[in-house]
Amino acid sequence: MTSASDAPVIRADRLSRWFGNIVAVNDVTLDVRPGITGLLGPNGAGKSTLIRMIAGVARASSGTVTVFGEPVRNNPPLAKRIGIMQEHEAVYGFMTGRRFVRLMGELRQVTPLDAAVERAIGLVELLDAADRKIRTYSRGMRQRIRLAGALVHDPEVLLLDEPLNGADPKQRIQFQRLLRRYADEGRTIVISSHILEEIERIADTVLLLVNGKLAASGDFRAIRAALNERPYHVLVACDSPRSLASAVVQLDSVEAVRLDADGRIVILSRNVRDLQIELPRLAQQESVTLRRVVPLDDSLESVFGYLVDGGER
Amino acid sequence: MKSLFLITLRRVLSPARLVMTGGLALAPLAVTSMMLSVDQGASLANFESFVLNGMLAGAIIPLATLATARAGFGDEISDRTLANVTLTPYSRWKVVLPKLLAVTAVPALFIAATAALTSHIAYGADITATRAVTLGAVSAVMLYSTLFVWLDLSTPHAVGIGLAYIVVWEGLFSRFIYGVRFLSLRSYSLSITHGADERRLPDGDHTALGLSLAVAVALVAVLFVLCVRRLRTMDVP
């Protein structure tokens, strides 16, 4: 098993990948150490391409990537130490779950195979359905059997691309428990997701990828703090916009206020949590009826965009 | 390697492929039987020209192998299961070899059976002739299978390019343009048949048996190396 040392297990140095004119991964340099690392970013950010390059199934246009200090491309022996679960389903529907996991074990030269297969299926809690054809599985079950296939050779590095797609809340909790146990054993786990909260619950450290670039990395709390400090635009519709606007502008949580062409208030705030508390109180105090309060830039893309811009400032 | 062979074999033995390969394999047999039943005096020259040269070597074998070769890598690229078999501790040649064997074995059995039966009927149980036709046909299966497996690894348009190659290159150019036969898999397989029994296909412009066999072996080896090389450099979906 990987030693508990803090040496990076995965290293990418100025890694880029482009497809024609499209840059999927742009000059990414990163170190990943044992534990759970979340790879976060909106759809199309380059997460899958990065994971595939780390696994060695996709080549880099420039830069290098190593795992345990070894190049990953054309390095078959390294496959015994890496488990990967790609985003797209790659299972054989005609096989039973047990046969699939067994095949994955055979292909990775696992011995003793029977025990490893039972252990892997047990880990994902799918023993009851192991003899059913995979084509009869629900999406969540297919994800779990794929995870069992990735775990059967007891890999030291686990690369998981959007593994929680299709999982129900109970499965998510089981999954988190399993990953935590693996991380506590000193393994290195990289898990990608476009869902902020999902990564926050699982990962120790975070790599934030936006438009193929590494926008931020490190402890999740630092990134979360940066997110909380970002300016939000909030649209407020009410029956007396001018009087509410003049009151709102006095609040500490508000940076700027303007009225749009339809007579609605657009508030710029760096502390939405306080604004959420203060706005109704202020409206009551000014005898103003609030009709609508809508955050204008709450999409994940805007959150990531802010971090990228913030990083460049 | 056994696992890789069996997974590929399962794909080759899918009902659709079996029907297609079996149907194609039956065609020369049916045509030969009809030729003989309609015209008892049908000449061997006609049989060799239409059935062996035109049908079997020019269409049946390349089409059957094009269909089955896709089970080697094309299907796995399409359904994204290729990563399952490439993220393994095996060297790449150990991935290519069992797949190539699986996609060659099934059409080789069908084609060998139809070549043997057809020539047995046409040549009146002449063992030497039957053996020569079967040898040429099986050589063609090996050559085409390796070519199409490589094509599947190299381009997502392998079926279209393969069909164009069969019709344009093997069907037209290699027959009518002198010199192209040296770059034609069909010509080498026919030369092997002729070389193994010189009474057969006497009208053709054949390469010597030894040279034909050497070229066939070399082509299979080169294409095999190209497959291994491609699997090492490509992006696995």
Residue range B212-237, pLDDT digits in tens: 999 999 999 999 999 999 999 998 88
pLDDT of residue B60: 94
Model confidence at A301: pLDDT above 80: no
Q: Do B89 and A76 touch (CB under 8 A)?
A: yes
pLDDT of residue A307: 63
Question: Bridge-partner residues for A266, per DSSP?
Answer: A235, A258
A261 pLDDT tier (thresholds 50, 70, 90): confident
A138 touches chain B (CB under 8 A): no
Of A311 and B17, the structure prediction assigns the larger pLDDT to: B17
pLDDT of residue A255: 87
pLDDT of residue A1: 45
B-chain CB neighbours of A104 within 8 Å are: 84
Question: Bridge-partner residues for A28, per DSSP?
Answer: A15
Q: Residue A191 is inside which H or E element, if any?
A: strand A188-193
The string of pLDDT tens digits covering residues A6-27 is: 689 999 999 999 998 899 999 9
**What secondary structure does DSSP assign to A34-79, as a single string?**
SEEEEEE--TTSSHHHHHHHHHTSS--SEEEEEETTEE-TT-GGGG
Between positions 61 and 100 of B, the ones with CB within 8 A of A are: 79-92
Residue B22 distance to chain A (closest CA, Å): 23
B15 touches chain A (CB under 8 A): no
When pLDDT is averaged across residues A111-120 and rounded to a whole number, the result is: 95
Residue B51 distance to chain A (closest CA, Å): 39
Minimum mean pLDDT among B12-21, B116-125, B142-151: which range? B116-125
Q: What value does the mean pLDDT of chain B take?
A: 90
pLDDT of residue A313: 37
To the nearest whole percent, how much of chain B has pLDDT over 90? 59
| B23, HSE (Cβ side, Cα atoms, 13 Å) | 8
Model confidence at A136: pLDDT above 70: yes
| Whether the predicted model's global pTM rises above the 0.90 cut | no
- Cα–Cα distance, A280 to A135 (Å, whole number): 52
Domains and their CATH numbers in chain A: 10-225 (3.40.50.300), 229-312 (3.30.70.100)
Q: Do A92 and B7 touch (CB under 8 A)?
A: yes
Q: Please report where in the chains the tokens 């009902």 appear, as a residue.
A: B15
A308 pLDDT tier (thresholds 50, 70, 90): low
How many domains, in total, are found in chain B?
1
A228 pLDDT tier (thresholds 50, 70, 90): low
Q: Which domain holds residue B62?
A: 2-233
To the nearest whole percent, how much of chain A has pLDDT over 70? 89
Burial call B166-200: b when 16+ CB within 10 Å, e when fewer: beebbbebbeeeeeebeebbbbbbbbbbbbbbeeb
Of A91 and A33, the structure prediction assigns the larger pLDDT to: A33
B-chain CB neighbours of A89 within 8 Å are: 80
Q: Do B87 and A86 touch (CB under 8 A)?
A: no
A70 touches chain B (CB under 8 A): no
